[in-house]
């Protein structure tokens, strides 16, 4: 390995750090339940709710925190969330059924995303609020309500394509939500179907982490609420959606150094840092860097609840520069949010057993094969680069530890089954039987992309919690909020 190792060490809060300090337990679990193994930590989601709720209190705001269920299928996380004051955002019929079965009452559930008739029917039948993406969807919902004599359904209008006054803020196009320029026919439909639907608020969905874009959309929602009230409608809530983000890498310096060196590798001024010269969206052309880096900003000091706090402090240019939080408070509007990744931050990890460590004849990086598929540990699918933590099988392994560069492969008979496309730097050589622990995978990286390719099973999932200083566990679907106060392993 030439040069200094380029580490991207994971950010670990106390619960995950403590879990990783119990390697004997983690080895026993994977020996018994197989690799890969997903471990979720339900108590952490309750802690994350408290952090978001504290921002609401600081700004004297009311409203609901809806967990975007699509981020993780876990029953344990959802049931633990049901024991808090938070709600859940469901984006399928099956997620709605799951939420109801986990203990959420309909007033704590909002239905979003693409919807079929069955999803709309159950939402309306159980009095769940529906965030509509189009006028057609609103019309379909109203027809279902009348045809099946369902209760009048609470709806929010999900909007997109917001514009700003003054300096233009570019916003990425989204396939979700009605363009705000089509507001008039949308409100006419609401008025026409007032017997079937009750407009309670407006919402926005942005595929972005930009605070400027988020602030522009929230300000745009406030203008829409003014228009609604001028027409005699009485919506009282703004749903700001998700996109609050997570910090994966602990040290800013490591992240900046890595991205700098990756650029140099793409330009050919240093040895490659990826398998097959992959550039993560960058390419070199005659000594010039082209393309756009397609990576998640893994070191994010402003994320999750802190991101929400900064968003609410942003000035609204079309309202005399007043902070967004002050405008919400002045009008007594509720603020709803839909954190997904941010609400399961530090809520889990994925374990994979090392099967093989090969040394190439030409030297260079070690080739390490894991008992897992790339879609079982989908960090890179979401552009997230972060190092795994190696948990040796033999805790008493002796000998000097020298940094090594490795490529991590999955176990499918497929060239593209790469756990990581990049070269990963580890503090010492891994050996067969060791575990690699990928921290902070609970947000979209455990089961969102999981397949049964080549008839291989998806990773099993367990829930773990601390009891008198020791870690205890049960299978994910066996966990209930009562479990951690007695019973299980």
Our CA angle for 203, 205, 211, nearest 5°, is 105
Q: What pLDDT shows up at residue 401?
A: 80
Q: What domains sit in the chain, N to C, each tagged with a CATH number? A: 1-41+250-295+346-468 (2.40.37.10), 42-246+299-336 (3.20.20.10)
pLDDT digits (tens, 9 = 90+) for 210-244: 899 999 999 999 999 999 999 999 999 999 999 99
Top pLDDT among 475 and 456 is at: 475
| Residue labelled with tokens 């990425």 | 172
Average pLDDT of every residue of the chain? 93
pLDDT digits (tens, 9 = 90+) for 18-50: 999 999 999 999 999 999 999 999 999 999 999
Joined together, the tokens standing for residue 164 give: 């700003």
What is the average per-residue pLDDT within 187-203?
97
Convert the pLDDT of each residue in 59-96 to its tens digit.
999 999 999 999 999 999 999 999 999 999 999 999 99
Q: Determine the Cα–Cα distance for residues 52 and 280; give it in Å rounded to an integer.
A: 32
| Catalytic residue of the set 153, 204, 347, 413 | 413
Contact 112, 131 (CB under 8 A): yes
Q: How many CB atoms lie within 10 A of CB 88?
A: 27
Instruction: Give this prediction's pTM.
Output: 0.95
Do 300 and 245 form a contact (C-beta atoms < 8 A)?
yes
Q: What is the DSSP string of 173-228?
A: --SSSEEGGGHHHHHHHHHHTTTTEEEEEEEE--S---HHHHHHHHHHHHHHHHHH
Average pLDDT over residues 304-321: 96
- The H or E element spanning position 18 is helix 14-20
Q: Are strands 129-132 and 322-323 parallel, antiparallel or unpaired?
A: unpaired
pLDDT of residue 208: 82
Average pLDDT over residues 455-469: 91
Q: Which residues contact 333 (CB under 8 A, 6 or more apart)?
A: 222, 225, 236, 237, 238, 327
Residue 167 has pLDDT above 50, yes or no: no
pLDDT of 335 over the 50 cut: yes
Helix (H, G, I), strand (E, B) or coil at 423: coil
Q: Which of 463, 445, 467, 482 is nearest to 75 (CA)?
A: 463
Question: What's the whole-number mean pLDDT along residues 118-146?
Answer: 97
Beta strand segments in 268-384, E: 282-285, 288-291, 315-316, 322-323, 334-336, 348-358, 366-370
User: How large a percentage of the chain has pLDDT more than 70?
Assistant: 96
Q: What is the pLDDT of residue 163?
A: 75
pLDDT of residue 173: 64
Q: What pLDDT score does 291 carry? A: 96
Cβ pair 46, 80 in contact under 8 A:
yes
Contact 444, 71 (CB under 8 A): yes
pLDDT score at 120: 98
Q: Which residue has the higher pLDDT, 6 or 469?
A: 6
Q: 224 Cβ partners below 8 Å, 6+ apart?
A: 157, 159, 180, 183, 202
Range scoring the smallest mean pLDDT among 32-36, 163-167, 295-299, 374-378: 163-167
Among residues 103, 102, 98, the alpha carbon closest in space to that of 111 is found at 98
More confident residue, 266 or 175: 266
Identify the residue whose tokens are 């967004």: 324
The rounded distance, in Å, linking the Cα atoms of 420 and 412 is 14
pLDDT computed for residue 484 by the predictor:
67
How far is residue 25's CA from residue 15's CA, in Å, rounded to a whole number? 15
Confidence (pLDDT) at 487: 46
Work out the pLDDT band at 172, boundaries 50, 70, 90.
low
Evaluate whether 343 touches 52 at the Cβ level (below 8 Å). yes
Structure tokens at 119: 């999803």
Is 413 assigned a catalytic role? yes
Which residue, among 158, 118, 161, has the nearest Cα to 138 in the 3D structure?
158
Enter the tokens of residue 219: 């300000």
Mean local confidence (pLDDT), 175-201: 94
What Å distances lie between residue 349 and 190, 216, 426, 437, 446, CA to CA? 45, 35, 18, 7, 8
Contacts of 124 by beta carbon, 8 Å cutoff, 6+ apart: 130, 141, 144, 145, 148, 150, 151, 153
pLDDT tens-digit readout, 418-432? 999 999 999 999 999
CA distance 150 to 264: 61
Integer angstrom CA distances of residue 424 from 9, 365, 478:
11, 9, 36
């Amino acid at each position: 390995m030439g040069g200094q190792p380029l580490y991207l060490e994971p950010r670990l809060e106390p619960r995950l750090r403590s879990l990783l300090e119990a390697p004997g337990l983690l080895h026993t679990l994977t020996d018994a339940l197989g690799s890969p193994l997903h471990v979720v930590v339900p108590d952490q989601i309750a802690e994350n709710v408290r952090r978001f709720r504290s921002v609401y209190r600081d700004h004297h705001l009311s409203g609901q925190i809806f967990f975007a269920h699509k981020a993780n299928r876990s029953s344990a996380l959802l049931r633990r969330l049901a024991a808090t004051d938070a709600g859940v955002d469901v984006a399928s019929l099956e997620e709605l059924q799951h939420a109801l079965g986990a203990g959420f009452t309909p007033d704590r559930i909002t239905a979003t995303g693409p919807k079929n008739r069955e999803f709309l029917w159950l939402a309306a039948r159980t009095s769940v609020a529906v965030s509509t993406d189009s006028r057609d969807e609103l019309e379909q919902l109203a027809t279902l309500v009348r045809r099946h004599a369902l209760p009048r359904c609470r709806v929010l209008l999900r909007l997109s394509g917001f514009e700003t006054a003054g300096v233009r803020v570019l916003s990425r196009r989204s396939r979700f939500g009605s363009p705000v320029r089509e507001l008039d026919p949308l409100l006419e439909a609401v008025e026409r179907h007032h017997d079937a639907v009750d407009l309670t608020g407006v919402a926005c969905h942005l595929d972005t982490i930009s605070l400027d874009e988020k602030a522009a959309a929230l300000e745009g929602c406030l203008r829409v609420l003014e228009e609604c009230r001028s027409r005699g409608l009485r919506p009282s809530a703004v749903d700001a959606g998700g996109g609050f983000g997570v910090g994966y890498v602990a040290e800013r310096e490591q992240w900046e150094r890595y991205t700098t060196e990756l650029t140099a590798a793409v330009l050919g001024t240093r040895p490659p840092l990826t398998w097959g010269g992959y550039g993560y969206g960058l390419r070199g052309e005659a000594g010039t860097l082209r393309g756009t880096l397609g990576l998640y900003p893994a070191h994010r000091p402003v994320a999750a609840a802190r991101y929400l706090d900064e968003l609410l402090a942003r000035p609204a240019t079309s309202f005399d520069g007043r902070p967004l939080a002050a405008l919400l408070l002045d009008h007594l509007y509720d603020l709803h949010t839909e954190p997904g990744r941010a609400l399961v931050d530090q809520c889990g990890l994925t374990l994979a057993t090392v099967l093989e460590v090969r040394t190439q004849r030409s030297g260079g990086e070690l080739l390490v094969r894991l008992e897992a598929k790339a879609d079982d540990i989908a960090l890179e699918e979401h552009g997230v680069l972060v190092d795994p933590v190696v948990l040796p099988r033999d805790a008493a392994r002796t000998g000097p530890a020298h940094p090594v560069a490795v490529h991590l492969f999955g176990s499918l008979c497929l060239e593209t089954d790469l756990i990581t496309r990049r070269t990963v730097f580890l503090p010492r050589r891994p050996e067969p039987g060791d575990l690699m622990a990928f921290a902070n995978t609970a947000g979209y990286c455990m089961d969102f992309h999981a397949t049964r390719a080549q008839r291989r099973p998806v990773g099993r999932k367990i829930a773990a919690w601390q009891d008198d200083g020791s870690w205890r566990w049960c299978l994910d679907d066996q966990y209930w909020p009562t479990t951690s106060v007695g019973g299980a392993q």
